[in-house]
Amino acid sequence: MTTTAPTRPEAPEPEAPAVRTRRGLPRFGGTGLFVAGLVVAGLLTALSGWSWGLFAVYGIVLGTLVTYVGSRVVEGPRKATDRLVTCLVSSAFAIAMVPLVSLVYTVVSNGITRLDGTFFTNSMVGVVGEGGGAYHAIMGTLIITALAALISVPIGLLAAIYLVEYGRGKLKKALTFFVDVMTGIPSIVAGLFAYAFFVIFFGPGVRFGLGGAVALSVLMIPVVVRSSEEVLKLVPNELREASYALGVPKWRTITKVVIPTAIAGLGTSVTLAIARVIGETAPLLVIVGITAATNFDPFDGRMATLPVYAYYQLTQPGVPPQFGIDRAWTAALVLIIIVMALNVVARLISRFFAPKTGR
């Protein structure tokens, strides 16, 4: 074999291919290099006493470095840069996932102990230690949020329609500006606003569910306006013109063409706005308060809501404290489940109501 080697350069060179092929790492080669880096990082960390944080830092730095250098040696600089950026982006994604996963894990593992039938059927009347539930708080949250949606969805949708279809000039600019300002209102301010507003009519110390709904509406309306506005803007102008050209008046064009075309997006924006306010604690703490008993009447008396319930179970858990703390975790878990369900509903709405292509 060695004798053939010197003759090789003299062999007629094959025609240069139109596209230069490069040596490449085998499939999963990049991942393999990164894992190799991780292993080294693991060994390094183990030497200096194990810690997950240190391992993550070493792992990302070494893994990226090994992948880059390995790829540069084998594949050349362009491919290596590609792999370097892939490593950085993936690492950033992994880091972003850490708090989310850890939060869900903590809430589920702590909340699962009390996720039982009693929790969904009992209120806190006469409960000092073990047992008790959040039936009253779940119902309170649902009632108050539904009322808030009932107030803010019509106002928000109509405002969005005004801004997109009718508004022009200074008034439109002013409205858009104030909607933006409203988006930034701290939620406690919304609660204090509702409290101060209802104190005028019912005197100091007023606490009732509708007040909470009003406070939540203050937070919800700008969200509904903003997202509905974006959705309505997406409706192609051609459809409006097509409708006008058929001799359809503007208001009918809006109700029969624009809104049906945008209905999926509008449904999603409303659902997401509800999900946004359902977990609000501060305004409800101020204007709705807390109670141990079930109260279905939002016009009279204190109501319990899940976030406020969780807050009180955690800050005033009673003796021994463990039972209260468990209930707080479960309340948080139920709230997360409700928000997740709402997001699923939003997805389903946008899937079922989206204009069909029919292909």
Partner 1 sequence: MAKRIDVSDLDIFYGNFKAVEGVNVSIEPRSVTALIGPSGCGKSTFLRSLNRMHEVIPGARVEGKVVIDGQDLYGSDVDPVDVRRQIGMVFQRPNPFPTMSIYDNVVAGVRLNARKMKKSDLDDLVESSLKGANLWNEVKDRLDRPGSGLSGGQQQRLCIARAIAVQPEVLLMDEPCSALDPISTLAIEDLMTELKDRFTIVIVTHNMQQAARVSEQTGFFNLNGVGQPGRLIEFNPTEKIFSNPDQKATEDYISGRFG
Nearer to partner 1, 32 or 260 (CB): 260
Using CB under 8 A, which of the segments 15-23, 120-128, 258-266, 314-322 binds partner 1?
258-266
Burial 17-52 (b: 16+ CB within 10 A, else e): eeeeeeeebeeebbeebbeebbebbeeebeeeeeee
From residue 276 to residue 295, the character string flagging contacts with partner 1 as x (rule: CB under 8 A) and all else as - is --------------------
Using CB under 8 A, which of the segments 14-22, 57-65, 72-80, 349-357 binds partner 1?
349-357
Number of residues that bind partner 1 (CB under 8 A): 26
Using CB under 8 A, which of the segments 32-40, 60-68, 124-132, 259-267 binds partner 1?
259-267
Q: Which of 97, 96, 87, 93 is nearest to 36 (CA)?
A: 87
Residue 27 touching partner 1 (CB under 8 A): no
Q: Which of 91, 92, 73, 71 is nearest to 82 (CA)?
A: 71
Q: Which of 113, 120, 160 is nearest to 136 (CA)?
A: 120
Residues 310, 107: Cα–Cα separation, whole Å: 12
CB 111 within 8 A of CB 333: yes
Nearer to partner 1, 72 or 172 (CB): 172
Nearer to partner 1, 131 or 260 (CB): 260
Rounded least distance, CB 255 to partner 1, Å: 9
Residue 50 touching partner 1 (CB under 8 A): no
For residue 266, give the amino acid letter.
L
Number of H helices, E strands in the chain: 15, 0
Using CB under 8 A, which of the segments 237-245, 283-291, 328-336, 343-351 binds partner 1?
237-245
- The residues of the shown chain that bind partner 1, judged by CB under 8 A, are 168, 236, 238-249, 252-253, 256-257, 260-261, 263, 355-359
